[in-house]
Chains A and B, each alone.
Chain A
Amino acid sequence: MSEPQITPDLVAAHGLKPDEYQRILQIIGREPTFTELGIFSAMWNEHCSYKSSKIHLRKLPTTGPQVICGPGENAGVVDIGDGDAVIFKMESHNHPSYIEPHQGAATGVGGILRDVFTMGARPIAAMNALSFGLPSHPKTAHLVKGVVEGVGGYGNAFGVPTVGGEVRFHKSYNGNCLVNAFAAGLARTNAIFYSAASGVGMPVVYLGAKTGRDGVGGATMASAEFDETIEEKRPTVQVGDPFTEKCLLEACLELMASGAVISIQDMGAAGLTCSAVEMGDKGGLGIRLQLDDVPQRETNMTAYEMMLSESQERMLMVLKPEMEAEARAIFRKWDLDFAIVGETIPEDRFLILHGNEVKADLPLSKLASSAPEYDRPWVETPPAPALVPVPEIGLLDGLQALIGSPNHAHKGWVYEQYDAQVGADTLVTPGLPAGVVRVHGTGKALAFTSDVTPRYVRANPVQGGRQAVAEAYRNLTAVGALPLATTDNLNFGNPEKPEIMGQFVGALKGIGEACIALDMPIVSGNVSLYNETDGQPILPTPTIGAVGLLKSLDELIAGKPETGDLAVLVGATKGHLGQSALLAEAFGIESGDAPPVDLAAERRNGEFIRANRKALRACTDLGDGGLALAAFELAEAAGLGVWIDANDIPFLFGEDQARYLVAVAQADLAGLQAAAKAAGVPLALVGQFGGETVTLGSESAPMAELSKLYRSAFAAALGV
């Protein structure tokens, strides 16, 4: 079949800039074939090459005694003792979810699960951080319904509990929703599989589902700004099949246990191309592929289509040749395709054959290592203007503005569609600060959270970046876990704009500082740029996914306040209202600076909570919405009222960091106060749990009434 002529238009349609095309000509010394152009475009787009972000990502802290494998593999690996490891990552599926929310979100979940089990881990927990446009925007309800169904549909059928996440609404996401999927799995530290090929003449094996024309051009699209012509750029939407993925999981784990696997890589964006190049590049080898042997779902597929297809539920593996028959039998048993599609070769070559024709013949290492790398111009985000005068508002009116908004209302409508219990190891289901899952068959447990406050990041990228990590640290601490490590999913606008690049650089600086200070290195992550529609960027949204360890189930703090328990505030309160949820929800004001994050105080206060867990009946972190919202949520979950002895808005709704609200039995207060004094941690008795009313200072309302508002506001706002 003849391939199209290479023209400047065709090069541009592949998202390659003229100078990048010149670089290709230099590398190969001739004009590329159509298939080669496709391969370069897939490898060199932002999504695969991280060309705008790499030089900044290198500055992040990625090591620590607990880290077994940091960024660069399919997922990060962290030691949790006793020969066990947790393997996790977070990844975006923003653009596909905007086009087809159900399948986009479902395949996002499928992709991140594969990243985890490719490394030999059995997935034990998932989370999803979702950002949508305003509920009043005509597309929002459709997107929310589709995405939530897709997440639940895939995760539930596959059999992984969804234990946490976030849902937020802001007008900046009107044309560009964010779907950030997290997965974590467990493996033994001596049975972790990596992607570097080794050995010459080893068979390259294709595993899983057949290849169709799914998402051809998807990776190129994911790195393009949306505009009105998006409808025409739409490639075939990828459709996920969780039942096939479940078989693929079992087959892969069985195959790994058999000792047949040299290296393995999942086929994600730019499928066969990316996975083959990565395996060869990391192993310092070349790869020859014979495309006729690729299992195909459709007829007459071209080399170009096969190399760029994003069909789901596929893996590429380098196999020990003597184990071929055994490996084939395992895959046949699970009813999956197993085909030898090529071999490793000694020379630095990526050789693609289809029929008798050479469709691509490229220097393999250059595809990965010679990808362009940009130090894009950036400008530091100017200091946020001073906070505008805060309008008057009643204390309870303020609380109702928060709990009646879809951003802070009860999210049961979302997470009740997710199976949080499959596997029967979930100890803490969504709704509390962090999800907690037992390490099966042991007395240990892992805690999971995902956090970021995009308003803060926009106002002050450095403090906002720090805050995202600090909040994750607090959420893990609030269930009694020791924070271990972090994955980051960095969603930003167009990096070619210096002010957007400035947000990126600033946020990364803050994230890095916090990860060092709180001893939670970044072990994996994903960058999603060009999240803009018609030039309007999203709020900078560096989602932080974090994992913490409970060495024993006794360490868990997951109780509820009881009648008569005291409400005790841990940490210092100054009443910072800049960029607060109260101003945003009650008045639509997004003004002032983000709250400053004192990392030493974060650490000190977190250590205090963990050291005194026995005195704490219940604990929650103070995030946006401040003391008032935290007290309400803690009481509401326990079916009790609460009284907070404070009459001023800044104290009740300020968003100072490094704070927790704890419920303490009266008998335990004196001991806790002494411990706080010794540790230098500010502690204040602020109220009491019990009764049936919510009282803020001199204002009261029945809890039943507020609870009704809190639990119905989400569905009401979206009309679902």
Chain B
Amino acid sequence: MKARVTVMLKTGVLDPQGEAIRHALGSLGFAGVTGVRQGKVIELELAATEAATAEAEVKAMCEKLLANTVIESYRVEIL
């Protein structure tokens, strides 16, 4: 079973990397980009066979390691 975790900075938290991308896009001539937020995607291969168990496990991983929940939010998809 596979899981995909998407980690993004929470709404409102400054994203310097996103700002840098927005700025670079502008200077390359892509007008009209008013905001960029970037994050990361983590794909996990899991031994679990039940979606519910897998999801609970991955959420625990997010809380402990994959996301810094003080400033980041995460989303888990079981594929």
Interface positions of A (Cβ within 8 A of B): 99-100, 103, 209, 212-214, 234, 236-239, 241, 243-244, 297-298, 311-312, 335
Nearest neighbor of A236 in chain B, beta-carbon distance? B12
Nearest neighbor of B20 in chain A, beta-carbon distance? A243
Return the 5 tightest CB-CB contacts between A and B, nearest first.
Answer: A241-B16, A239-B14, A100-B70, A213-B12, A236-B12
Question: In angstroms, how far is the closest chain B Cβ from the Cβ of A290?
Answer: 22
The CA of A311 and the CA of B14, in the complex, are separated in Å by 8
- What's the count of A-B pairs with C-beta under 8 Å? 38
The CA of A243 and the CA of B24, in the complex, are separated in Å by 15
List 16 A-B residue pairs with CB atoms under 8 Å apart, sorted by A's residue number: A99-B70, A100-B68, A100-B71, A209-B14, A212-B14, A214-B14, A234-B70, A237-B13, A237-B71, A239-B71, A241-B14, A243-B16, A297-B14, A298-B12, A311-B14, A312-B14
Question: In angstroms, how far is the closest chain B Cβ from the Cβ of A483?
Answer: 39
Nearest neighbor of B15 in chain A, beta-carbon distance? A239
The CA of A100 and the CA of B15, in the complex, are separated in Å by 15
Nearest neighbor of B35 in chain A, beta-carbon distance? A297
The CA of A212 and the CA of B9, in the complex, are separated in Å by 14
Q: Which of A99, A238, A335 contacts B14 (CB 8 A)?
A: A238
Beyond A212-B12, A237-B70, 6 additional contacts (C-beta under 8 Å) are A100-B71, A234-B70, A237-B13, A237-B71, A239-B71, A244-B16
Write out the residue numbers on chain B whose beta carbons fall within 8 Å of the beta carbon of A236: 10, 12-13
The CA of A134 and the CA of B43, in the complex, are separated in Å by 36
Question: In angstroms, how far is the closest chain B Cβ from the Cβ of A241?
Answer: 4
Write out the residue numbers on chain A whose beta carbons fall within 8 Å of the beta carbon of B70: 99-100, 234, 237
List B1-15 residues whose CB lies under 8 Å from chain A.
9-10, 12-15
Nearest neighbor of B70 in chain A, beta-carbon distance? A100
Interface of B is mostly: loop
Write out the residue numbers on chain B whose beta carbons fall within 8 Å of the beta carbon of A212: 12-14
Interface string of B11-36 (1 = CB under 8 A from A): 01111100110010000000000000
Q: Are B13 and A239 in contact (CB under 8 A)?
A: yes
The CA of A234 and the CA of B12, in the complex, are separated in Å by 13
The CA of A214 and the CA of B70, in the complex, are separated in Å by 13
The CA of A312 and the CA of B14, in the complex, are separated in Å by 9
Question: In angstroms, how far is the closest chain B Cβ from the Cβ of A720?
Answer: 16
Write out the residue numbers on chain B whose beta carbons fall within 8 Å of the beta carbon of A234: 70
Number of interface residues, chain B, beta carbon within 8 A: 13
Nearest neighbor of A103 in chain B, beta-carbon distance? B71
Write out the residue numbers on chain B whose beta carbons fall within 8 Å of the beta carbon of A241: 14, 16, 19
Write out the residue numbers on chain A whose beta carbons fall within 8 Å of the beta carbon of B16: 239, 241, 243-244
Write out the residue numbers on chain B whose beta carbons fall within 8 Å of the beta carbon of A238: 14
The CA of A243 and the CA of B13, in the complex, are separated in Å by 17
Write out the residue numbers on chain B whose beta carbons fall within 8 Å of the beta carbon of A244: 16
Write out the residue numbers on chain B whose beta carbons fall within 8 Å of the beta carbon of A311: 14
Question: In angstroms, how far is the closest chain B Cβ from the Cβ of A216?
Answer: 9
The CA of A238 and the CA of B9, in the complex, are separated in Å by 12
The CA of A243 and the CA of B12, in the complex, are separated in Å by 19
Known A-B contacts A236-B10, A237-B13, A241-B14; A335 and B71 likewise in contact (beta carbons under 8 Å): no
Write out the residue numbers on chain B whose beta carbons fall within 8 Å of the beta carbon of A103: 71
Write out the residue numbers on chain B whose beta carbons fall within 8 Å of the beta carbon of A298: 12
Q: Which of A99, A100, A239, A335 contacts B23 (CB 8 A)?
A: A335
Question: In angstroms, how far is the closest chain B Cβ from the Cβ of A662?
Answer: 48
Nearest neighbor of A213 in chain B, beta-carbon distance? B12
Write out the residue numbers on chain A whose beta carbons fall within 8 Å of the beta carbon of B10: 236
Most chain A CB within a 10 A radius of its CB, from B9, B14, B15, B68:
B14
Question: In angstroms, how far is the closest chain B Cβ from the Cβ of A177?
Answer: 15
Nearest neighbor of A216 in chain B, beta-carbon distance? B12
Interface string of B38-77 (1 = CB under 8 A from A): 0000000000000000000000000000001011000000
The CA of A234 and the CA of B68, in the complex, are separated in Å by 14
The CA of A212 and the CA of B37, in the complex, are separated in Å by 14
Question: In angstroms, how far is the closest chain B Cβ from the Cβ of A616?
Answer: 47
The CA of A99 and the CA of B23, in the complex, are separated in Å by 30
The CA of A312 and the CA of B16, in the complex, are separated in Å by 11
The CA of A111 and the CA of B72, in the complex, are separated in Å by 23
Nearest neighbor of B23 in chain A, beta-carbon distance? A335
Write out the residue numbers on chain A whose beta carbons fall within 8 Å of the beta carbon of B15: 239
The CA of A521 and the CA of B9, in the complex, are separated in Å by 45
The CA of A243 and the CA of B10, in the complex, are separated in Å by 21
Write out the residue numbers on chain A whose beta carbons fall within 8 Å of the beta carbon of B20: 243
Question: In angstroms, how far is the closest chain B Cβ from the Cβ of A302?
Answer: 13
Write out the residue numbers on chain A whose beta carbons fall within 8 Å of the beta carbon of B68: 100
The CA of A241 and the CA of B15, in the complex, are separated in Å by 9
Nearest neighbor of A146 in chain B, beta-carbon distance? B68
Question: In angstroms, how far is the closest chain B Cβ from the Cβ of A717?
Answer: 22
Nearest neighbor of B16 in chain A, beta-carbon distance? A241
Write out the residue numbers on chain A whose beta carbons fall within 8 Å of the beta carbon of B23: 335
The CA of A244 and the CA of B17, in the complex, are separated in Å by 11
Question: In angstroms, how far is the closest chain A Cβ from the Cβ of B21?
Answer: 13
The CA of A234 and the CA of B70, in the complex, are separated in Å by 9
Nearest neighbor of A244 in chain B, beta-carbon distance? B16
Write out the residue numbers on chain B whose beta carbons fall within 8 Å of the beta carbon of A213: 12
The CA of A213 and the CA of B71, in the complex, are separated in Å by 13
The CA of A373 and the CA of B58, in the complex, are separated in Å by 52
Most chain B CB within a 10 A radius of its CB, from A236, A244, A335:
A236
Question: In angstroms, how far is the closest chain A Cβ from the Cβ of B17?
Answer: 9
Nearest neighbor of A234 in chain B, beta-carbon distance? B70
The CA of A304 and the CA of B14, in the complex, are separated in Å by 19
The CA of A234 and the CA of B10, in the complex, are separated in Å by 13
